[in-house]
Amino acid sequence: MVTEFRVFRYSPGRGNRWQEYRVETRAGASVLEGLQTIRADLDPTLAYRFACRSSVCGSCAMLIDGQPRLACQTRIQQLKGSCIVVAPLPGLPVIKDLVVDMEPFWTAYRRVMPWLVEKTGAKDMTITKAVSDVMEKFYSCILCAACFAACPEAGGKHTYLGPMSLMEGYRLYLDPRDAAGEERRKILSGPDGVWGCHGAFACIDACPWDLAPVEFSAQLRLKLVGEKFSWLKKAFGQA
């Protein structure tokens, strides 16, 4: 089967352009396999990232037919149209061709302190099943930045934490073993935190593991509001 690709090309000092390729692909082949065929047989100068080829490392996230996807997970046959259009993730600086500078994403990630600050005696603490069930959903995130690239707020304002960082911050904020709760609350509820989410829901379609970050943002908002006005519960909820 012959598949047509239209690929974004960019080299520092030479600007950008689009280049077309006709590739012989097998039935069931992924977009990543198509790119590998291009690089191996047609154009060894094409640059892109990949590693595991199993939808686990997140390295091959790119814009495929206008949607952030993993190239290794996206099958050519599932795409509509006669030509597959491949471009780098939007909202991130392009280094070369389909390779982007992930630093804005990692900067946002580091700001939420993605590590546990253990309380004294944390190792002896237990986590309720209700909290554990919520936290467990976060562990599938592969840090591919597809949600970050899809989010119109994160792409236009790199100070915004973005869907994935908010999700990770919320996971740690829920953890009863964490001693940095107050510091996390300030970060998550700040001007670049959860209130910056405008509910575009683009992150839901972009996530390769169906994590729906915007839903966790909504849960975080409810938790923050509930804590802010906890005095109302005392005044009326327990009356």
Per-residue pLDDT at 239: 45
Domain ranges of the chain: 2-100, 103-233
Q: Please name every residue paired with 62 in a beta bridge, in sequence order, or none if there are none.
A: 69
* Edge-to-edge strands, sheet with 61-64: 15-24, 2-11, 83-87, 61-64, 67-70
Q: Which of 100, 77, 95, 81 is nearest to 31 (CA)?
A: 77
Q: Which CATH number is 103-233 given?
A: 1.10.1060.10
Does 103-233 match 2-100 at the fold level? no
Residues of the chain with pLDDT under 70: 157, 231-239
pLDDT, tens digit (0-9, with 9 covering 90-100), for 172-196: 999 999 999 999 999 999 889 999 9
> What is the architecture of the domain spanning 2-100?
Roll (3.10)
Per-residue pLDDT at 138: 86
Q: Output the pTM of the full model.
A: 0.89
Q: Which of 5, 32, 6 is nearest to 18 (CA)?
A: 6
